Amino acid sequence: MKTKSKIEKQMKRKTNPELVRSIIKAKKNKEWLEVASILSGPRRKKISINLDKIDKETKEGDTVVVPGKVLGGGEISKKIRIASLSFSEEAEKKLREKKCEVVSIEEEVRVNPEAKGIKILK
């Protein structure tokens, strides 16, 4: 686990304003520190997860946080809440068809500051 000062140092190199806001919000709560740590890391270690992997690792009604991008490969069969830094167009379309909630990490931190019931997929 990275320290807050290490996260702050790595965050200074980021140019995406949405990414920077997400890191700042996540860094303020110790429950979200792991997500801030992953987001502040180098771009080559960024996470990209397909819908079929999300479908395998979740149960109906779960809240899932993907500190990276959700891709549209595969299908989703469960109604879940997904918070991610970004979504591909295909993934967002498939999730909305299945009535899944699609939110940004920044919004999820604001709504759920204690990180209750979240599952972080890496």
Counting Cα atoms < 13 Å in the Cβ hemisphere of 78 gives: 17
φ/ψ of 36, rounded to 5, equals -60, -40
Q: What is the pLDDT of residues 97-115, one digit of tens each?
A: 999 999 999 999 999 999 9
pLDDT tens figures, 67-98: 999 999 999 999 999 999 999 999 999 999 99
CATH 3.100.10.10 fits 4-120, yes or no: yes
Structure tokens at 106: 């920044």
Domain boundaries along the sequence of the chain: 4-120
